[in-house]
A = this chain, B = another copy of it.
Amino acid sequence: MITGKNYTGSELSANGSKTFKTFNPQLNIENQHVFFEASSEEIDTAVSLASNAFMTFGTISGKKKAEFLNAIADEIIALDDILIQTYCSESGLPEGRAKGERGRTIFQLRSFAELVSEGSWVDATIDTAQLDRTPVPKPDLRKMLIPLGPIVVFGASNFPLAYSTAGGDTAAALAAGCPVIVKSHPMHAGTGELVASAVIKAAEKTGMPNGVFSNLNSSGIEVGVQLVKHSGVKAVGFTGSIRGGRALYDLASQREEPIPVFAEMGSINPVVILPEALKNRSKSLAKTYASSITLSTGQFCTNPGLLLGIKGETLSNFIKELSDEIVKIEPTCMLHPSIIGAYENNRSKALSQAELTVVAIHDADVKDNYARQAITTVEGKTFLENTTLHHEVFGPYSMVVQCKDVKELEQIISNLEGQLTGTVIAENEEADKYSNVINALQNRVGRIIYNGVPTGVEVCPAMVHGGPYPASTDSRFTAVGIHSINRWVRPFSFQNWPNNLLPDELKNENPLQISRLVNGKTTTSKI
């Protein structure tokens, strides 16, 4: 079922000469399939097909788009075992995780199907004419959200399904009415091709125009660079490293016509543990955080990489308990030799910093590609002065910063880069006392959590997955939840436009019965 070819629209294509294979990190061997990197011509074909497809797909009804999205979900389910097996063989992640992530992917697709089927998401806004207004008549103005055009989606290494081929970015873009070209992630090109085949089948079954979706293989950066620079591409979605995301952002903003890039680039997700809570719950917190730090081998962008507390005996005890707990956990496999290589490199770099103490490192013999978790600690002053310690170590690693007082704690938080999440561990009565600390934390993050762990990103309308740079390239959007559709749309106004030529969303009779803002009042009534 895996051909190793690209999908340029519905066509399987392998014109290029560059090939590559994926890798099974559990078995520490290459997988069998050979993938063909997309050629420059195949990239042009995919973009050209997408531009053509946009002329019709950009204006089809929400009901039709919902059929398409639901059909993608159905076809992904129909892939069944082969998808789960390929996922596991290309990621080293366990079957339970694969099935969970498939469930999340399906849920996302169906959520967007529901959103666009209902239709009110377009924020229809109508101000009717006042012909008798002086000195000049007021025209009739009607506004709604319309799609931007072809979108390029870069799959993430750590979520082969939910943030890749038909993941959140793709589902949101298709729901908006934007054709999608996926730059497939080389680590799970087989998983990508399988999901792409499901999307193509769904497109054909529901009568979508050819080019509404393409899937391009790549092993290096060339395919992505050409896509982002292509004048036919109108926006970019990316999940991955700061270096990768920033490079794409720079390319996109240097174009003759700059285009928006929404890159979610991860963070160190600071956790502030306040003294009373630590005194009362040290043991259970140690257990909870040992588990959160090592969850999925620390390969979540919401992994808690930084724990902050006030120096003292209680914090010293907690550090010891956390160390005891974390070394009890069996090491697990990382996604790819290059990921474990980077983990070991970055951890070594952190460990080599002056005045940093390693308090725990798993010392068992581990299999190839298995990561040894580690906990380190530094003084607040050291952390403040050495920004190398602020960099993410992607993997099961966390650092405890011992602040000399509340003032230093607040200062450290204020000096952090932007973060996806911030967590506060507190007793209810002490939150007030530390309001400056909490305010400083809010200022640096996209989501703030009370007495919990940052790992686990609920897919729901109230979720924000994003945050100030470099957590994302634009804090005004979220990558998760139905409102993530706003990344791929623009408002558009019709002035004095004839009723019969307006889109259904804006017609007087409100045939879709959607909720609209008419002359300042929200209503589903006709005009």
Contact = CB atoms under 8 A, between A and B. Distances in A.
Which of A138, A431, A495, A520 is the most central at the interface, judged by chain B CB atoms within 10 Å of its CB?
A495
A500 to B, nearest CB: 8
A281 interface: no
A130 to B, nearest CB: 10
Contact of A478 (B468, B486, B491): B491
B253 A249 contact: yes
B442 A492 contact: yes
Interface string A473-501: 11111100001001101111111111001
Contacts of A447: 492-495
Given A55-B439, A141-B463, 4 more contacts: A125-B462, A448-B495, A450-B494, A522-B522
Nearest to A124: B462
Given A125-B461, A493-B462, A428 B498 contact: yes
A148 to B, nearest CB: 7
Contacts of A110: none
A491 B461 CA distance: 11
Given A141-B463, A442-B492, A501 B458 contact: no
A247 B458 CA distance: 40
A452 B139 contact: yes
A138 B458 contact: yes
Interface string A433-475: 0000011001000111111100010101111101011100111
A321 interface: no
Contact of A257 (B260, B452, B464, B469): B469
A525 to B, nearest CB: 15
A431 B125 contact: no
A419 B264 CA distance: 30
Interface string A484-524: 00110111111111100100000000000001010010100
Given A148-B475, A462-B143, A498 B138 contact: no
A458 B501 CA distance: 22
Interface of A: 55, 123, 125-127, 136, 138-139, 141-143, 148, 249-250, 253-254, 257-258, 260, 417-418, 428, 431, 438-439, 442, 446-452, 456, 458, 460-464, 466, 468-470, 473-478, 483, 486-487, 489-498, 501, 515, 517, 520, 522
A492 B477 CA distance: 10
A469 B127 CA distance: 26
B55 A450 contact: no
A233 B356 CA distance: 34
Nearest to A447: B493
A495 B447 CA distance: 7
Nearest to A426: B498
Nearest to A249: B258
Which of A451, A452, A464, A466 is the most central at the interface, judged by chain B CB atoms within 10 Å of its CB?
A464
A449 B139 CA distance: 10
A253 B496 CA distance: 38
- CB-CB nearest 4 A-B residue pairs: A141-B462, A253-B253, A464-B493, A447-B493
A102 B271 CA distance: 50
A462 B142 CA distance: 5
A510 B525 CA distance: 26
A495 B449 contact: yes
A208 to B, nearest CB: 18
Contacts of A463: 127, 141, 143, 493
A417 B418 CA distance: 35
Which of A253, A257, A417, A493 is the most central at the interface, judged by chain B CB atoms within 10 Å of its CB?
A493
Nearest to A491: B464
Contact of A464 (B449, B489, B492, B517): B492
A474 B487 CA distance: 11
A134 to B, nearest CB: 12
Contacts of A449: 139, 495-496
B260 A476 contact: yes
Given A452-B496, A490-B475, A495-B450, A520 B253 contact: no
A439 B492 CA distance: 13
24 contacts: A127-B460, A127-B463, A139-B449, A139-B452, A141-B460, A143-B464, A148-B476, A250-B253, A257-B418, A260-B476, A442-B492, A446-B490, A446-B491, A446-B492, A447-B493, A448-B495, A448-B497, A450-B501, A462-B493, A463-B493, A464-B491, A476-B486, A478-B491, A522-B522
A461 B516 CA distance: 12
